[in-house]
Structure 1
Amino acid sequence: SGRTIRFNEVEPMVRACAAGLSARGLGQGDVIGLLSPNSIDYPIALFGAASIGAAVTTLNPLYTPDEISKQLEDAKATQLYTTGPLLEKAYAAAAKGARLSRVYTFDAMPEVAPDGPPLESFASLLADGGSAPTVAITPADDVVFIPYSSGTSGLPKGVELTHRNLVANVLQTNFYAKLTPDDTLIGVLPFYHIYGFTVILNVALCAGSTVVTMPGFEPSLFLQILKEHSVTVAHVAPPLVGFLARHPAVDSILPLPHLKELFSGAAPLGKELEDIARKRLGCVVRQGYGMTEAAPATHILPMSVAVAGSAQGSVGELVPGMECKIADPATGVARAVGERGEICLKGPNIMKGYLNRPDANAESFDADGFYKTGDIGYVDEDGLYYVVDRVKELIKVKGFQVPPAELEAALMGFDAIADAAVIGLPCEKHGELPKAYVVKQVGYEDLTANDVSGYLIGKVAEYKQISEEFVEFVEAVPKSAAGKILRKELRALEVARAAGTAAG
């Protein structure tokens, strides 16, 4: 849009938003939904609600009206921020049961107001000129943000994050990010997801850095922003690292002399892909690790280690103020340095709990109060952590555990592959066998399944090999908004295929 908000405008706008919301009946303990792609109004809307003691639940703009309605009902949201293109979905969600008393649009008002809750422009909300009430907030107890996560398993659950959780993680993250007012970030990862919300938006606001927002990933615009806005730090997920490392279009904007760092999160990043990106872009590539339940960052690779390139594949050190236990998934007993186990975490950034889900809370925390992440990893003698895979996604071949992420990282080292995902399929003889879903890189349309299978020979152990009949070429790998591979969708596809074959 070309709009700009300067730092001296932020607080007055937040106060105006708070006053407008208060005048329209939103108060302490209430919940307001935020259904929008990335927007320059996002932080104003969110902090306006937070400053009067309300909580915000963010929603994926790709959700259906049914999904929107379910989340709004579960979170008990009474009002909603949205955009013009999403008004139809928002009002369909209201018709399906979401109990909304008012809706605000970041865009101009439509010529004809939709049937349902009163609609008002966000601009008019800010124009009231009133004063917001002063509220007493207990940072460790009062919930301010309710994103939804599947956790280690199951359907999406509301994650109750308190003021303390968010502030703690901003400080923990910037201890390693060390952003300054001279930095410019690109806001391409969605703000409705905790990665974009905390690690990009909130940390940048705290540090006084510039954020250039994008409503979504569009390759040419993404590259244009990197170049024209002299982006210094680009927060990405592995698929975007792959794009920057290999796509021919990137050549048109090289060099990028201001780009200091690619910071990758959401899923493991393999050494081969990291090497290619580092060499092509001429910047540091480093990783972090976290989850919605931790607000999200729990581990970040120190810049000095990333520059030295001495710990590629590591997600880094445990951030300040946290405790981490590598535990036997079956017994909960702590494992020794170098031994693999489930990553369990405790600290000021760990969620208050899952909303309305005492059963999930009981399953997710151990007797000592550690949150069980469901991820398998280990720590080395230098205190650097490595994430191997999900507990429930490990493939069991001949009794051996095969991490899908390891095979995916190996495949991404092949220039002919743009993206890849791996799951395990049942096998009477071996228990399970790995299957790869592969996206061909532009210019490699003649790539064959035999090429893919052959590439892994000598790179992984024999029992981890993927035979050519277990290679399937696809247009895209299913992923979450943050870039995590949705292996459950691939497993569901294979179950449906097996059921169809059996029925046939």
Structure 2
Amino acid sequence: MIYDSKYSAAAIPENLDVHTVVFGRELRASNKTALVDALTGTRVSYRQMLADIDALVDALYGTLRFKKWDVVAVLSPNHMQYPIVVHAIIKAGGTVSPANPTYNHSEFAFQLEDSGAKFIFVHPAVLSVALAAAKQVGIPESRIILFNDSSVSYPGPARRTISQISSENTKAAPTVTFSRKDVMTKPAYLCYSSGTTGLPKGVETTHYNIISNVLQFEAYQKNRREVYSGDVFTGHLRDDFGTSLVFPKYELELFLKSLQKYQVTVSHIVPPILLQIAKSPIVNQYKFPKLRAFMSGAAPLAPELCHAIYDKLGVFVHQGFGLTETSPITHMLPQSLCLKFPSSIGHLIPNVQARLVSPETGLDVAPTKEGELWIRGPNVMKGYHNNPKATAESIDQDGWFHTGDIAIVDENGLFYIVDRLKELIKYKGFQVAPAELEAYLLEHPAIADVAVIGRADEVGGEIPRAFVVLKVWCVLSMILPKLKLQQRQPNVKCTEGEIIQFIDAKVSPHKKLRGGVEFVNEIPKSASGKILRRILREKDAETVKKLKAKLPC
């Protein structure tokens, strides 16, 4: 059964690029505020933002010798220049490849090499990561450009900033045009996602995909004049809807002060922050007369949390759903249903279709029955970069993207995510690929086999937990410490703490083994050798249940 959106379809052009659609003519001369720095109060108008974008486009071509379709990596926490850099790259005809600012140099180097990035724009706070990664993949330091931020010092010689390459430039960029074929096939973004399984893959999001989702969301919202706060650094074009509040760093008190000071009307937020708001007594010190809604995504949302926020602030929490591969939004829950159906991800947004399919039979399931959520629409990615096998496994010949999420549709046409086929772990909205952690753990000299799962956690949503099979020599050395073994490595410890330290040194913070390590005799696997994570999740859930039973009431 094919489910269609209940909303009227949005008209989506096939011959316009992202910059043209997002920044219409009326914004070019607008003094309306586009961006506000929540920390300093600095404001940037649309007119100034567009002037900065144009200057950077000129510098890309004139100073850096950028070429159309070059991939440019961006490594930075939230910053006022982030959307300017992103939109300049796109307007210049390039592809933006944003990277997680918590990455270590090995993780960033993988993305640089896989994406084929030619240039790096980086915040001074993470310059050391960019330098090490660039050296590893052969990107010259002359192609590394710093965000302007005098508040952050960095080691080594002075390096060129965005302002400097703009002031050095004396040439205007050539007029960049986009054909219909370019709009439909060339990626504007190359974000990295673990997809349904395995290591991170580059998601090719075309101009048409991005334009589609902007106009789909606009058709759903029907209100383009909002003051937003949220994750502006992702570059997902919220500029078009009003003023965006940029948080260089997250602190609860700063967040609350800003909601009040700037009279924010809608805030994009993740469940861990909502949990903080629900539990913290300092929230009562602030008033939010204009705040109408929190838009929540990236992780599951407990119904009790939605009600707690409404009871405390009188603000609705809208749950939605989407994926990097769908540019990203596919579902939104209307405000009128937020309290009645808080567990629901809502209805399909305009122009999106869905199916629920049995993973066992490949056939559509009956209404109200569980099935894998398949999505089709103009916002579905082109595919995975240089990975036709993964693309073919995710998008079938009829254009259906297989999400790996198990969902149901109730009698009201509302969708609910109830389980996950895919292996992905979500910690505070960040993706963690078990296969990546397993590969690192197998480098440990004492580990023979390993499997990683996500353990449910109130604050983080899920936290990575490893099941480890130790090598025989390690087990024997613990039982008989004086026994002389040829394979024994005296400097290697086989403890939970040592293994956690080993992996923590190799990965970014959100990938740490916060769920701990459990030693087992074997990893359950299918006849073909596939890890049976469901069995491990059930085993771990039983362990957690027993631990809770022992706690005092």
Would the alpha carbon gap of residues 258 and 94 (structure 1) be closer, same or farther in structure 2, given more than 3 Å must change? same
1:284 aligns with 2:316: yes
Aligned to 1:28: 68
Q: Could you tell me how far 1:358 is from its partner in structure 2?
A: 1.1
Aligned to 1:323: 353
Q: Between Structure 1 and Structure 2, whose CA radius of gyration is higher?
A: 2
Q: Measure, in 1, the Cα distance between the counterparts of 2:461 and 2:330.
A: 26
Match of 1:233 among 258, 266, 282: 266
Which residue does 2:402 correspond to in 1? 372
Q: Which residue number corresponds to residue 43 of structure 2?
A: 4
Select 1:41's aligned residue among 81, 96, 117. Answer: 81
Deviations 1:293-331 (Å, cap 9, x if unpaired)?
A: 00100001123333xx33221111111111111111123
From 83, 88, 94, the equivalent of 1:54 is 94
Cα gap change, 1:98 to 1:237, in 2 (>3 Å)? farther
Answering whether residue 227 of structure 2 is matched by residue 184 of structure 1, we say: yes
Structure-2 change in CA distance of 1:359 and 1:393 (3 Å): closer
| Structure 2 CA distance for aligned equivalents of residues 121 and 423 of structure 1 | 38
Alignment-derived partner of residue 189 in structure 2: 145
Segment drifting more, 289-298 vs 11-20: 11-20
Of the three residues 281, 287, 293, the one matched with 1:248 is 281
**Residue matched to 1:498:** 520
Which residue in 2 is equivalent to 1:363?
Answer: 393
Partner residue of 1:168 out of 199, 212, 220:
212
Instruction: Look up the equivalent residue of 2:116 and give its one-letter code.
Output: K
Contact 1:73 1:98 in 2 (8 A): no
Amino acid in structure 2 at the alignment position of 1:247: S
The counterpart of 2:163, out of the listed 106, 110, 123, is: 123
Query: 1:139 deviation in Å?
Result: 0.9
Output the amino acid matched with 1:131.
A
> C-alpha separation between the residues in 1 aligned to 2:401 and 2:103?
28
Alignment CA distance shift 1:259-1:499 (3 Å):
farther
- Post-superposition CA distance 1:139-196 (Å, at most 9, x none): 1111111110001111111111111111111111222334433x21113x3624xxxx
Whole-angstrom CA distance in 1 between matches of 2:291 and 2:153: 44
Q: Are the structure 2 counterparts of residues 124 and 310 from structure 1 closer, same or farther at C-alpha, using a change threshold of 3 Å?
A: same
The residue number in structure 2 matching 1:449 is: none
Counterpart Cα distance in 1 of 2:514 and 2:46: 44
Equivalent in the alignment of 1:464: none
Instruction: Name whichever of 255-264 and 125-134 sits farther off.
Output: 125-134
Residues 149 and 156 in structure 1, CA contact (< 8 A), matched pair in contact too: yes
Measure how far apart 1:267 and its partner are.
1.4
Indicate the SS of the match to 2:69.
coil
Specify whether residues 336 and 216 from structure 1 end up closer, same or farther in structure 2 by C-alpha distance, changes over 3 A only. Answer: farther
1:88 and 1:382 mapped to 2: Cα distance?
Answer: 52
The number of residues matched between the two structures is 409
Aligned equivalents of 2:275, 2:321: Cα separation in 1? 18
1:333–1:216: structure 2 CA closer, same or farther, 3 Å change rule? Answer: farther
Would the alpha carbon gap of residues 421 and 111 (structure 1) be closer, same or farther in structure 2, given more than 3 Å must change? closer
How much has 1:239 moved relative to structure 2? Answer: 0.8
Give secondary structure in 2 for the equivalent of 1:312. Answer: coil
Residue 144 of structure 2 corresponds to 103
Larger RCO: Structure 1 or Structure 2 (Cα < 8 Å, ≥ 6 residues apart)?
A: 2
Matched position secondary structure for 1:34:
strand
Once residues 416 and 285 of structure 2 are traced to their aligned partners in structure 1, the CA distance between those partners, rounded to angstroms, is: 35
Deviation at 1:125, TM superposition (A): 2.8
Residue-by-residue CA offset, 1:74-123 (whole Å, 9 max, x unaligned): 111111111122222211112222424511111258999857xx941101
State the secondary structure of the residue aligned to 1:171: helix
Report the 3-state secondary structure (helix = DSSP H, G, I; strand = E; otherwise coil) of the residue aligned with 2:160: strand
Secondary structure in structure 2 of the residue aligned to 1:152: coil
Once residues 70 and 290 of structure 2 are traced to their aligned partners in structure 1, the CA distance between those partners, rounded to angstroms, is: 43
Residues of 2 paired with 1:218 and 1:335: CA distance?
45
Tell whether the 8 Å contact from 1:16 to 1:132 is kept in structure 2 after alignment. no
Runs (5+) with no aligned partner, structure 1: 395-403, 413-417, 427-477
Q: Any conservation in 2 of the 1:30–1:77 contact (CA below 8 Å)?
A: yes
The alpha-carbon distance between structure 1 residues 54 and 422, as it changes in their structure 2 partners (threshold 3 A), is closer
Superposed displacement of residue 283, structure 1: 1.1
**SS at structure 1 position matched to 2:317:** strand
CA contact (8 A) 2:296 2:318 kept: yes
Q: How do residues 59-458 of structure 1 correspond to structure 2 at under 5 angstroms? A: 59-100=99-140, 101-107=142-148, 114=156, 119-127=159-167, 128=169, 130-137=171-178, 138-181=182-225, 183-187=226-230, 189=231, 191-192=233-234, 197-198=235-236, 202-203=237-238, 205-207=239-241, 209-253=242-286, 255-306=287-338, 309-392=339-422, 421=462
Partner SS for 1:287: strand
Computed over aligned residues only, the root mean square deviation of the Cα atoms, in angstroms, reads: 3.0
Structure 1 residue 61 displacement after superposition: 1.1
SS in structure 1 opposite 2:183? coil
Native 8 Å contact 1:70 1:98 kept in 2: no
Matched residue SS, 1:206: helix
The percent of aligned pairs where both chains have the same amino acid is 35
Report if aligned partners of 1:261, 1:284 keep a CA contact under 8 Å in 2: yes
Rate the CA distance shift 1:123–1:179 in 2: closer, same or farther, 3 A.
Answer: farther
Amino acid at match of 1:382: N
Which TM-score applies when normalising by structure 2? Answer: 0.68
Q: CA deviation at 1:252?
A: 2.0
Between 44-53 and 218-227, the greater mean CA deviation after superposition: 218-227
Q: TM-score, normalized by length of structure 1?
A: 0.75
Q: Distance in 1 between matches of 2:130 and 2:465?
A: 38
Task: Give the letter aligned to residue 155 of structure 1.
Answer: L
Which of 33, 52, 55 matches 1:13? 52
Q: CA deviation at 1:393?
A: 6.0
Aligned residue for 1:165, secondary structure, equals helix
For 2:66 and 2:193, the matched residues in 1 are separated by 25
Tell me how far apart the structure 2 counterparts of residues 386 and 19 of structure 1 sit (CA, whole Å): 47
Shift of 1:129: 5.5
